[in-house]
């Protein structure tokens, strides 16, 4: 079984919750795909493992996975919520092409450092951050 499964199980145990078959299938479906997955993508993938899974279970389970540190909210704009893997995936930010939707993930130590300084400056305790850069990718800029 995967390390993620163990992490999830332990998280549930600590909370007095149960590891169930639907939860396991949603986790496996989520882990089986990289990138930004909508809740519907996850529902479809989960049903390949168990056709009886309901969408409410996907919503409820993804919320738990987020709390357990296995998933991270990757929603953009006001469309459907999206999740990405969070376990042992180093933190990164996103560069998004507004025309073709292409997403580049990057990590910039300089920016991370500057963000920490902002937290310190205003006396805030950091819990997380979200940065998204929007632009045209080289291909789309060329077509213009």
For residue 138, count other CB atoms closer than 10 A to its CB.
8
Helix, strand or coil for residue 38? strand
Question: Following CA atoms 55, 59, 62, 64 in sequence, which dihedral angle do they give, to the nearest 10 degrees?
Answer: -120
Least distance to a second copy, CB of residue 73, Å: 8
Binding mask 63-102 toward a second copy (x if CB under 8 A, else -) reads ----------x-x-xx--x-------------x-xx----
Residues that bind DNA (CB under 7 A): 12, 16-23, 38-40, 50, 52-57, 59-61, 63, 75, 78-81
Residue 127 to residue 31: CA distance in whole angstroms: 24
Based on the shown chain and the rule CB under 8 A, indicate whether residue 110 belongs to the binding site for a second copy. Answer: yes
Site for a second copy in 1-60 (CB under 8 A): none
């Amino acid at each position: 079984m995967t390390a993620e499964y163990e992490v999830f199980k332990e998280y549930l145990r600590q909370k007095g919750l149960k590891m169930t078959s639907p939860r396991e299938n949603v986790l496996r479906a989520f882990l089986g795909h990289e990138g930004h997955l909508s809740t519907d993508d996850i529902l479809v993938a989960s049903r390949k493992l168990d056709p009886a899974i309901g969408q409410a279970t996907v919503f409820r389970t993804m919320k738990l996975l987020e709390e357990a540190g296995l998933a991270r909210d990757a929603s953009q704009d006001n469309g459907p919520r999206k999740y990405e893997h969070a376990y042992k995936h180093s933190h990164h930010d996103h560069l998004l092409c507004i025309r073709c939707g292409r997403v580049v993930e990057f990590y910039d130590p300089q920016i991370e450092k500057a963000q920490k300084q902002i937290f310190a400056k205003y006396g805030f305790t950091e819990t997380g951050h979200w940065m998204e850069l929007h632009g045209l990718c080289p291909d789309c800029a060329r077509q213009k």
